[in-house]
């Protein structure tokens, strides 16, 4: 019987999962994973920073905040044709989703037409589209949807009670409000967080509780391991035990059985063995391509070799009779996909 989709997770329940012997936790997560997914398939997204640095916010982890001296040069919003060239390359390399990121607190209304042009162009290439642009008004979310946006990424980043230690220029409620505007617009949500910022295990459970108790589980849940960047306030934070990261992936999988759990930032510093444990714990998505937004990611050759070593294949996008995408969901009514991805 499939696990219940719950929105009433209690902190203690998630903490109890965190506290299981690792083999037992992995077994439970792997069991839930198989109820909804083929565990050999991993969804592959490529990121592009379409507007880098110069951000007015003070997120303590972020190399793009203007106020920290991290060596990231601020750029203007890229031209749509440059973005499309990168999207073509990502598709040729095997990505199925292309995510455009901008270092904004929120977009200005005058930015929206140019971003909409990028989205429409990427969609026309046959890629799923994702954007992460900061806080959105309801009208902006509608405009992005009309341009062909599939997913909007907006992370809760950490537990509500730890957020004020990490970000001071906005509130947790601002994040929840944007997520509501995104859902109301009918967009799919990509929402996760960062672990390894000096939070406690209880706060890690608190992040996953906040995600799992949203009105709808996010379609994608990126779990980032903090990439420590010199010049940011979190540089020098004690490194998280890698097994604790694996536990966070496993608990995310159990609490959000139908979501794509993405092994996100931090992979460059992980061994193949640690990444394999994350896939066994229920991660079934990655960022693919040499760069995240401003920091490094494994090169594509290393990822292709990793997939080959582990017997993993890129997850195709399945389209139902109404033309709706269902990446990864294994429903009988969904037609067989075209495989064919270089990864």
Count of residues touching ligand DTB (by CB under 6 A): 16
Concerning whether 191 is annotated as a catalytic residue, the answer is: no
Size of the site for ligand SF4 (CB under 6 A): 9
* Residue 341 is among the residues annotated as catalytic for this protein: no
Q: Could you say which of 52, 224, 285, 297 contacts ligand SAM (CB under 6 A)?
A: 224
Q: Shortest approach of ligand SAM to residue 194 CB, angstroms?
A: 5
Which one of 97, 175, 253, 262 is the catalytic residue?
262
Our measurement of the distance from residue 117's CA atom to the centroid of its chain's CA atoms, rounded to an integer in Å, reads: 23
Is 41 within 8 Å of 91 (Cβ atoms)? no
Report the residue from 218, 222, 314, 328 that binds ligand DTB according to the rule CB under 6 A: 222
Closest-CA residue to 149 (of 134, 130, 136, 121): 130
Closest alpha carbon to 251 in 2, 1, 33, 4:
33
Binding flags for ligand SAM, 100-139, as an x/- string (CB under 6 A): -x-xx---------------------------x-x-----
Which has the closest alpha carbon to 130: 260, 294, 270? Answer: 260
- For the window 44-63, what string marks contact with ligand SAM as x by the rule CB under 6 A? -----------------xx-
Question: Hey, what are 119's tokens?
Answer: 């989205």
- C-alpha span between 224 and 128 (Å, rounded): 21
Residue 27 structure tokens: 């077994």
Tokens encoding 114: 């140019």
Annotated catalytic residue 130: yes
User: Which residues in the 254-273 window bind ligand SF4 by CB under 6 A?
Assistant: none
Q: Does 293 bind ligand SAM (CB under 6 A)?
A: yes
Interaction of residue 194 with ligand SF4, rule CB under 6 A = no
Instruction: Report yes or no: 234 and 225 within 8 Å, Cβ to Cβ.
Output: no
Q: Please list every residue from 116 through 135 that binds ligand SF4, using CB under 6 A.
A: 134
Neighbours of 170 (CB within 10 A): 17
Per DSSP, helices labelled H in 185-271 are: 201-212, 242-255
Where are the alpha helices (H) located in 94-171, listed in sequence order? 112-124, 138-147, 160-166
* 131: nearest Cα among 147, 143, 119: 119
| CB 57, min distance to ligand SAM, A | 7
State the nearest-atom distance from the C-beta of 86 to ligand SAM, in Å. 17
Q: Is 191 annotated as a binding residue?
A: no
Measured from the CB atom, is 59 or 115 closer to ligand SF4? 59
Residue spans of beta strands (DSSP E) within 133-276? 151-153, 188-190, 193-195, 220-225, 260-263
**Dist. CA 17–CA 3, nearest whole Å:** 15
d(CA 51, CA 156) in angstroms, rounded, equals 21
- Catalytic residue at 55? yes
From 224, 228, 232, 259, residue interacting with ligand DTB (rule: CB under 6 A): 224
Binding flags for ligand SF4, 33-62, as an x/- string (CB under 6 A): ----------------------x-x-x--x
Which residues in the 149-188 window bind ligand DTB by CB under 6 A? 153, 155
**Nearest one of 252, 309, 255, 308 to 283, comparing CA atoms:** 252
60 binds ligand DTB (CB under 6 A): no
Which residue ranges are tagged as binding site for [4Fe-4S] cluster?
55, 59, 62
Q: Which residues in this chain contact ligand SF4 in the complex, by CB under 6 A?
A: 55, 57, 59, 62, 64-65, 103, 105, 134
**Interaction site with ligand SAM (CB under 6 A):** 61-62, 64, 101, 103-104, 132, 134, 154-155, 157, 194, 224, 226-227, 229, 265, 293
Annotated binding site for [2Fe-2S] cluster: 99, 130, 190, 262
User: In the complex, which residues of this chain contact ligand DTB (CB under 6 A)?
Assistant: 47, 63, 101, 132, 153, 155, 192, 222, 224, 227, 264-265, 292-295
């Amino acid at each position: 019987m499939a696990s219940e989709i719950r929105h009433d997770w209690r902190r203690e329940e998630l903490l109890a999962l965190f506290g299981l012997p690792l083999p037992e936790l992995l077994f439970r997560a792997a069991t839930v994973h198989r109820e909804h997914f083929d565990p050999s398939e991993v969804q592959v997204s490529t990121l592009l920073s379409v507007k880098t640095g110069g951000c007015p916010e003070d997120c303590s982890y972020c190399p793009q905040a203007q106020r920290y001296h991290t060596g990231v040069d601020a750029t203007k919003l890229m031209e749509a044709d440059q973005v499309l060239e990168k999207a073509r390359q990502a598709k040729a390399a095997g990505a199925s989703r292309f995510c455009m990121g901008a270092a904004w607190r929120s977009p200005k209304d005058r930015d929206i037409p140019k971003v909409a042009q990028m989205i429409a162009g990427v969609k026309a290439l046959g890629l799923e589209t994702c954007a992460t642009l900061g806080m959105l008004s309801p009208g902006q979310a509608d405009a992005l949807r009309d341009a062909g946006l599939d997913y909007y990424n907006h992370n809760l980043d950490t537990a509500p009670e730890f957020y004020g230690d990490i970000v001071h220029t906005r509130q947790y409620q601002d994040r929840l409000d944007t997520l509501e505007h995104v859902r109301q617009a009918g967009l799919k949500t990509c929402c996760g967080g960062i672990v390894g910022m000096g939070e406690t295990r209880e706060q890690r459970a608190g992040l996953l509780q906040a995600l799992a108790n949203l009105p709808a589980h996010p379609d994608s849940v990126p779990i980032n391991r903090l990439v420590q960047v010199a010049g940011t306030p979190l540089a020098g934070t004690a490194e998280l035990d890698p097994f604790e990261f694996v536990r966070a992936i496993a608990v995310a999988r159990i609490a959000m059985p139908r979501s794509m759990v993405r092994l996100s930032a931090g992979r460059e510093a992980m061994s193949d063995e640690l990444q394999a444990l994350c896939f066994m714990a229920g991660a079934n998505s990655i960022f693919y391509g040499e760069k995240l937004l401003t920091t490094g990611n494994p090169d594509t050759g290393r990822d292709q070799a990793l997939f080959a070593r582990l017997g993993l294949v890129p997850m195709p996008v399945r389209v139902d009779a109404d033309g709706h995408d269902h990446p990864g969901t294994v429903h009988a009514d969904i037609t067989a996909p075209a495989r064919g991805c270089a990864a």
